[in-house]
A and B are shown apart, each in its own frame.
Chain A
Amino acid sequence: MVIAMFDDAELRQRAWDVAATVVDPEIPVLSIADLGVLREVAVRDGQIEVAITPTYSGCPAMNMITLEIELALEREGFRNSKVRTVLSPAWTTDWMSEDGRNKLREYGIAPPQPAGSRRALFGVEQVKCPQCGSSDTEVLSEFGSTSCKALWRCKSCREPFDYFKCH
C-alpha cells in the first residue's frame, strides 16, 4: 500500500487534503473546509479519523457528507477511515473562509454577516445583493430553501436571492 511510505504527519496532511475536497451537497461551490465543517483529521494506529461539525442540528446533509468523506478517502487508499461528529465548539458562519465567501457571492448567494447580528429581535441586517452589489435590499423570508439560508430581494435589480444566514 502506498500510504505505508509516509509518516503520521504526512498521512494526516494527505488525508486532510482529500477530505477537504468534499463539497456541501446543497451548495456545491463550497468545500467542507471552506465552510468550517471539517474540524480535525487525526491518525490513530495508521487509520484516519475525521471530525466534522454540523451547521444546523437538523442538517440533512451531514449523513451524505460523512459518506462522501469515507468514499474520498477510500479512493485515495485510506482504508476503514472513521468520521465522527463533534458538537463543541458550535459551528459559526464566522469560520467560513474568505475564499468561501467569495465563491458564495460568485455563485449568487450573499455571504453571511458577522454572527452578532442574529440577536436583534426585529431584523436590522444589511445585506448586499450578490448580483448587482446594491445595498437596497429587503428580506422576504427568514427561512429559505435550506436551513442555512434566508430569502431576500434586491430592490435595485429586482432579483430575488439567497442569503447565507449568520449563525
Chain B
Amino acid sequence: MAVASIEISETPLVLYTLRRADDALILGHRLSEWCGHAPILEEDMALTNMALDLLGQARELYSYAGAVEGNGNDEDRLAYLRDVRQYRNLLLVEQLNGDFARTMVRQFFYSTFADLYWRAMMKSGDATLAAIAAKSEKETAYHLRHSSEWMVRLGDGTAESHARTQTAIDDLWAFTGEMFEVDPGERALIEAGTAVDPATLRPQWLKIISDVVAEATLTLPKGDWMQQGGRSGRHSEHLGHLLSELQSMQRTFPGVTW
C-alpha cells in the first residue's frame, strides 16, 4: 500500500527554500541518470560528481525548509512524500536528458544562472541561506566551467555536434524565462533582504550565455515567448515519471532506512 503525500505549510520562506531545493534535486536526479551511460568515462564521472553536488545542495535546503516550516518534516519527507504538484522546480531542470548536447545546454543555462544566483544569495540577511549559498557557489563555478567548455567543443566541433547543440538551444530556450520570475511572496522576501531578485541577474546571465554561444559558433533564438508553470507546480509530463522512480522506495516501504 503506497503512502500518501504530506501537506506542507507553504509560508513564503518555506516555498522560496523549496523552490531552490527542488531545482537542485531534480537536476541532480537527471544527471544521475547518465551514470554508466555517458559517452566517455571522464564524463560519466563528471556528470555524477555534479549530481552529487546538487544532491548535497538539495539536502541542506530541504533541511532548512523543514526547520522553518516547523512541522517535523525532514529532508527525506520533503523529497519523497510530496506529489508532483507540490514540486516547484524550474521546468528546465525536469526536461529529458536527450542526447549529450541537450544535457550540456540544459546544464549551461542552469549553471550560468545558479552561479550568479548563489553569489548574490551570499549577501542574504538569512544566515542559513547565505551559508548554503557560500558552499554552493564554489561547486557551481566548476559546473559552469565544465558546461561552457562543452558548449564550445560541441558547437565548434563537427557538423553533427553543431546541429545537435543548436537544436537543443532552440528547444530549451523557452524554459529560461522562468528563472527570472518572481511571485508576490518572493517579492516581499526580496524587499526584506532575504531573497535574491533574479531580475538584477538577467543582464549578466544573458552576457555570459551570448558570449559562450557566439564562441561556440551557435546562435540564440530570436523569439522571446517563455514557458511558465514550474514555480507554481504546473509541470511538464516528465516530472511525474521522474518522481515515480525517485520516490518509489519510500512510497512502497514507508519510512524504510538503510
Contact = CB atoms under 8 A, between A and B. Distances in A.
Interface of A: 54, 56-60, 87-92, 118-123, 140-145, 147, 151, 165, 167
A88 B134 contact: yes
A127 to B, nearest CB: 15
Interface in B59-116: 59-60
Interface size class of B (residues with CB under 8 A): 20 to 34
A58 B131 contact: no
Interface string B117-143: 000000000011011101110110110
Interface stretch (B48-56, B156-164, B165-173): B48-56
Contacts of A145: 45
B42 A118 contact: no
Interface of B: 42-43, 45-46, 49-50, 52-57, 59-60, 127-128, 130-132, 134-136, 138-139, 141-142, 144-146, 148-149, 208, 212
Contacts of B145: 118, 120-123, 142
Listed residue (B54, B142, B146) with the most chain A CB atoms within 10 angstroms of its CB: B142
Main secondary structure of the interface of A (DSSP, over half): loop
Secondary structure dominating the interface of B: helix
Residue of A59, A90, A123 with highest tally of chain B CB at under 10 A: A90
A89 B136 contact: no
Contacts of A88: 127, 130-131, 134
A164 to B, nearest CB: 13
